[in-house]
Amino acid sequence: MYIIVGLGNPEEKYLKTFHNMGYIAVGDVAEKLGVKFKKKECESFVAEAFVRGEKIILARPVTYMNASGRAVKQLMNKYKCPPEHLIVIYDDYDLPKGSVRIRPSGSAGTHNGMRSVIAETGVQNFPRIRIGIRDSESNIPIINYVLSEVKKEDYELFISACGRSAEAALAICNGESVEKVMTSYNG
């Protein structure tokens, strides 16, 4: 059993914003597995799939970014998921745009959604896949930047990063160690 959570904001107006990279990436996982987000539970839109006979829950919390931890905690409790089988995908302003960084555990850094996940679940030892969004040429406040739409000229770069993130999550679900996935996908 694995749970893959893509962090983001549920309203249509946030669909193409930097803060929704996790939503887009978990959508890519669903597409690769041929499933759709058909039900709502644990304050999330959820899809179910199987990889090598193991159940995979894909989730997009509807709690908004800063309260994502509520949904993640509910999902972990409902499915009795150990932390090492929780994979969280999210945008990261601390990484250059289009980069992907996988870690087996760690702090929330500057990300409020991850702060919520760690605070609510009480654990940090779960794999996370971060999609870099920082544009070194932008000088607008972070809160305005993360809620702004991806520029047309950068769209393909971010779609590619979300696709690589989806592949990395599936590799972990397929039994590859987080360390091996880090070697293959970080960068």
* Active-site annotation, residues: 19
CA 58 – CA 45 distance, rounded (Å): 8
According to DSSP, the β-strands at 54-61 and 44-51 are antiparallel
